[in-house]
Structures are given as C-alpha cells and as structure tokens.
Structure 1
Amino acid sequence: MITLTRRRLLAGAAALTALSGQSRPTPGIATWPLLDAPPATHRTSRLDVTLDGRGYRLFRALPSGPVPAGGWPSIWMLDGNAAFNRLTADQLSRQPGLAVIALGHQVETEIAAEDRTLDYTPAPLNGAVEPRARGRATGGDDAFRDRLAGPLMQAAADGAMLNPARRSLWGHSFGGLFTLSTLFRRPDLFRGYVPVSPSTGFGGGALARIEAAAVPLADGRAEVLVMLGDQEHRRSTDAPVAPRPSPQTLALAKRLEARPDLKLRVSVLEGLTHGATFRASLGPALAWAAAVGGLANPVREPAGEGRAAGE
C-alpha cells in the first residue's frame, strides 16, 4: 500500500501559507549565497552552457571529502536558479556525501518562466489550450531531455566523480511533470525521481498518454518519492475547505505502486499550497536522494517553513 507520510510545519507556517494562498509573485533576483559561503562539507561553482541557442546555467555543490567507491550519489534539480538560491548551507551540510547539480537558465531571476514552460512540458493533446502555460510556448520536453542526457550531463559531471547508478532527479510543478515524463520515457537516466506537486493534468491528459506508452524497467528498480501539499488548487478554483491532496496525483501514485519495477513513497506536506511545497521539499529530497541506490536509510530531515514560492 501507499504510505502517506505527513510532515507538520514549523510554527506559524500554516498561517503564512493561508495569507499567501496560491499567489504567484514576480520572480525575484537570485543572489545564490551558497556560491560565496558554502558549508565546509561542499565546494560550489557555476557554469554557463549554451546549446541550440538556449542558455543554461549549471550550479554544483560537490562533497569535499574522500570520494567513495563508485563515486558520489547526486541529485539533479530543475528550476536550478531558484533551487540553488533557496537551498541553505545547513540543509547541504546535513548531507555531506551528496552532490547537488542545479539545472537553471541564464537569467538573473529565480524563475525563468518562458524557458521552463518550454523545456519542462509536453505538447498538449489535440492542440488543447493549456491555461497554466499562460500563452507561453510548450512542448519542448523531449528536446530538453536530449540536452540533459547529453551535453548538460557531460558538462555538469566533468571532474565531479559522480556515481551514474545513484542519480536522482527533482522537479516542482512543471518540473515535477518533467520528472514524471522522464521516468516514463527515459527511466535509464536516473535511479531516483522526486516529483513535487507535479502538474499531472497539464495539456488535457498529455502525461497520461506518456505513461500509457511506458515500458517496465528491464533491470533494477527505480525509486520514486512523490511530494505534494494538501492545500493545492488551481488559481481559478476555490481553496479546499478541508485538507485534500490532489486526487489526480494520488491516482497516478496508485498506478505507480502497482508496478513491480518501482519503489514508491508518497509524502503529503500538511497545510501547504502549490507554491509553498517548493521550499519545503528541499531538505527531505536531499535526505532521500543521499540514500537512493544505497544500503543506508535516509537521514530524517524536518520540513522547512512553508513560504510560498513561484510556480
């Protein structure tokens, strides 16, 4: 059965979430404090890569200690500008043996709205108009996946001594959608998958079509951690009266549970809206990724404050 792990918020977070609701503030300027003041456990760097006329920005936090046999486990984070900006030195230091690769875009803001909408989404079914795209171009996920699997991975892993059998992919919202479509289309790329508040209903059922075409893994088991809030809702709808995780996402998780080649865990973040799950998922995702493909149990990591984030 699916185990729903419910994480309580720190004091005051639920009230802050209620005030912020489902708002989508203008993305702020990123300062990336980890580049200037990383914890002693990691060394950090930034690299810009241009592919097919698209500008990507790669952030790395690599462990400082001796490299283990086989290399470091790693977590690859979409919306890398925001993820690397919001990740704290304390969260990073709690996982001294985990490499973090944040995949962003060449902008100075946390969220690159046009780029992420194109890179992380499949084409809507039958030309359906997708309101969540807000008029931005969609359908570039296959092209981005090819870039990720090839030159972006090569650039990010250069000299990093990463274990290819212990890679995890994290993504929020459209990034969570891309994380799931990668599990279905290219499950060989990662061992672990962390979709957070994934936009499972995007494009009139586009993800369901991708899922239906997925084939079981030929070897090994993929490990999947689904995280979502219990106060999420579409901007055009009323907030749920009672806590209610997305039925569509839970139904997808139930289908994944039935696959013998997958190891699934679902974690519901109490009191959190769609945007707030971004920040709250970071610490738990790192703790989980540090154990993916290994024998040790993941370190317990408290949920962070439920402050609203951009979509």
Structure 2
Amino acid sequence: MIPGRRRFLTTLAAFASCPAVPAVAQMRQGPAEFPLFDAPPASHTLTQFDVVAEGLSYRLFLACPHGEVPAQGWPSLWMLDGNAAFSRLDAARLAAHPGLAVIGIGYPVEAAFDGASRARDYTPVPLEQPTHGRGRDWQFGGQEAFRARLLGPLAQALAERAPLDPARRSLWGHSYGGVFVLATLLSAPEAFRAYMAISPSSGFGGGALQAMEAGAPRLAEGGAEVLMMLGDSEHRSGTPEPAEPRPNPDTMATGARLAARADLHVQLEVLKGLGHGATFAASFPRSFALADA
C-alpha cells in the first residue's frame, strides 16, 4: 500500500481530461475505430493478434513499452472489452506511462463490444435470471472458465510476445467487465496485484457477487489494491432515472464490505455528473496511475 493512502476513499470528482459524454456515445455498437494505430506513440510498440482458446476466439491488443526491459519484466494493465478500450486510448495516455505495458482482451469483431461474448465470459452464475433487455437469449455464468482461459492460453500468448512481470499486473473492467474484476478478486485474488472495477453491475443475477463474498479467500502479506469508480447519474437500463443523482447503492455497499477486509486497500470514487457509459474512459487516468504505481 502506498504510504499515506486512505484505505477507503469516497470522492465526488469529474476528470477534466475525460469530459462527460452521453452513455449512448460511450457504449456505441457501431464499428470500432482505432486512431491509436493510425498515429502510434513513440513510447510503445502496438500489435494485435487473435488467439483461439478452448474453441473460442479472442483478439488481443498489446502496447509494449520501448526501452530497456526491467529485470522482472514490464508491469502491465489488462483491460477487458479490449476493442473498446483500445479504440479510446490515445498516444498521450501511453506516453504518460512509458514503462507500462497495456493489454486489451477483446474479440474478433468489428464492433467495440461483443455483447453475447462478454455476457458469457464476464459474469458469475446468476442466482436468478438476468433481465438485461438485450441479453435474454445470452448465456451467463462463464467467469470461472474465462478466467482459466485468461490466465492460461491468453496469458501464454502474451508472454510469448512481451516480457511481462507476473507480480505487477493489474486488471481493469467496466460494467459486466467490472463484475468479472470483482469476481476474480473474490475467487483468485492472487492473480493480479491491483483490481479496477468501473461501474460494475454489482447487483447482477440477484446478488451473485454478494453470494461469492462469504467464502472468498483472503490474501496473505501485502494484500491487493482495489479501485472502484462509478458515476452519480447511473441507473439500470429500462428503469426511470432517480429523482436526485446518486451512486448505485449495490456498488457502494459492495465497496464498503470490501473495505472492511484487512487484506484489501480499497478506494471508491464517485464521478459527479457521469452516467454508466461515460465512466468507461473517465476511469483511465486513475486506473493507469494505479497500474503504474
């Protein structure tokens, strides 16, 4: 834990570098564009490649630092919804962290998001049928199998292309991706050094995440860093907006419970004026800083 850091921090903040934009724009379903690949930074080498694991296809994006490799390898930030993440990254963000490898875990699709695949991969087994409007025919509950693929063949494919420090890797995810980040923290907390859960769908499946907390393993020395961020203007799709802006109560309660654990160093930040989709890119400054700490 960084000296002087508060174990549990709740703030109301909006990042000037990531202005609020409509959620629809942030979660658009059209073809993804990658301006970063058109104007690559001087600090990193960019590559993308596909990997098949257990019959399922994934597209991996890799920004590998230039320069002399540290003795143990580069620290790395692993970003779920990799197509969308790399479509929003810019050269300035990477240049600000010249010693950080950034990895996007995506899918071989043209769109920024693959809804069915992320629902299958990122979610725990639901306690009750999810009511997500677009997901009624989707499969859910595959987070354990996906984690095995992520830490197995996908991690191996990355290790063959970049020298990464296994002790200094961080995991970032938004929405369902945020659910996977928390599920990994609760199931295999030693897998990553830091966890960034951005606007996680904390109430997914009738409280499936909360059910995982009871038997969650604890970490020994050092613990893990946990960053949770959400907007104060989020509400569930298809439901009326609350009368006054307020952060998601499920996520706030989840953060408080995690903060009570002695083995976790939890920071919870509420972004004023931001909805669910806008927190995706607004989380980048804090997440990159934590991964590079």
TM-score, normalised by the number of residues in structure 1: 0.87
Deviations for 1:55-114, whole angstroms, at most 9, x for unmatched residues?
100000011121123221110000001001111111111111110010001111110111
Q: Which residue of 2 aligns with 1:79?
A: 81
**Superposition map of 1:191-270 within 5 A:** 191-270=193-272
**Residues 84/262 of structure 1: CA separation in 2 closer, same or farther (3 Å cut):** same
What secondary structure, in the 3-state scheme, does the structure 1 residue paired with 2:216 have?
coil
Quote how far apart the aligned CAs of 1:268 are. 1.3
Q: Which residue of 2 aligns with 1:98?
A: 100
Q: Which amino acid aligns with 2:130?
A: E
Structure 2 CA distance for aligned equivalents of residues 244 and 155 of structure 1: 42
Quote how far apart the aligned CAs of 1:282 are. 1.8
Q: Which amino acid aligns with 1:287?
A: A
Structure 2 CA distance for aligned equivalents of residues 113 and 99 of structure 1: 26
Quote how far apart the aligned CAs of 1:283 are. 2.6
Select the residue among 3, 9, 20 that pairs with 1:3: 9
Structure 1 CA distance for aligned equivalents of residues 39 and 198 of structure 2: 27
**Residues 12/120 of structure 1: CA separation in 2 closer, same or farther (3 Å cut):** closer
What secondary structure, in the 3-state scheme, does the structure 1 residue paired with 2:266 have?
strand
Structure 2 CA distance for aligned equivalents of residues 11 and 94 of structure 1: 13
What secondary structure, in the 3-state scheme, does the structure 2 residue paired with 1:131 have?
coil
What secondary structure, in the 3-state scheme, does the structure 2 residue paired with 1:144 have?
helix
Quote how far apart the aligned CAs of 1:36 are. 3.4
Q: Which amino acid aligns with 1:129?
A: Q
Quote how far apart the aligned CAs of 1:236 are. 2.4
TM-score, normalised by the number of residues in structure 2: 0.92
Give the conservation status (yes or no) of the 8 Å contact 2:189–2:218: no
Q: Which residue of 2 aligns with 1:56?
A: 58
Structure 1 CA distance for aligned equivalents of residues 14 and 49 of structure 2: 37
Q: Which amino acid aligns with 1:31?
A: E
Quote how far apart the aligned CAs of 1:3 are. 1.3
Give the conservation status (yes or no) of the 8 Å contact 2:28–2:112: no
Q: Which runs of 4+ in 1 moved over 4 A?
A: 11-14, 21-26
Q: Which residue of 2 aligns with 1:181?
A: 183
Give the conservation status (yes or no) of the 8 Å contact 2:230–2:271: yes
Quote how far apart the aligned CAs of 1:154 are. 0.8
Q: Which residue of 1 aligns with 2:131?
A: 131
Unaligned runs of 5+ in 2: 1-6
What secondary structure, in the 3-state scheme, does the structure 1 residue paired with 2:189 have?
coil
What secondary structure, in the 3-state scheme, does the structure 1 residue paired with 2:61 have?
strand
Give the conservation status (yes or no) of the 8 Å contact 2:194–2:290: no
What secondary structure, in the 3-state scheme, does the structure 1 residue paired with 2:178 have?
helix
Q: Which amino acid aligns with 1:106?
A: P
Give the conservation status (yes or no) of the 8 Å contact 1:181–1:207: yes
**Residues 61/281 of structure 1: CA separation in 2 closer, same or farther (3 Å cut):** same
RMSD after superposition = 1.9
Deviations for 1:125-175, whole angstroms, at most 9, x for unmatched residues?
1xx221123331111111101101100011112241211111100000000
Quote how far apart the aligned CAs of 1:28 are. 1.7
Deviates more, 1:103-112 or 1:231-240: 231-240
Structure 2 CA distance for aligned equivalents of residues 11 and 284 of structure 1: 11
Quote how far apart the aligned CAs of 1:231 are. 0.4
**Residues 71/9 of structure 1: CA separation in 2 closer, same or farther (3 Å cut):** closer
Structure 2 CA distance for aligned equivalents of residues 239 and 225 of structure 1: 26
- 2:146 pairs with 1:144: yes
Give the conservation status (yes or no) of the 8 Å contact 2:23–2:278: no
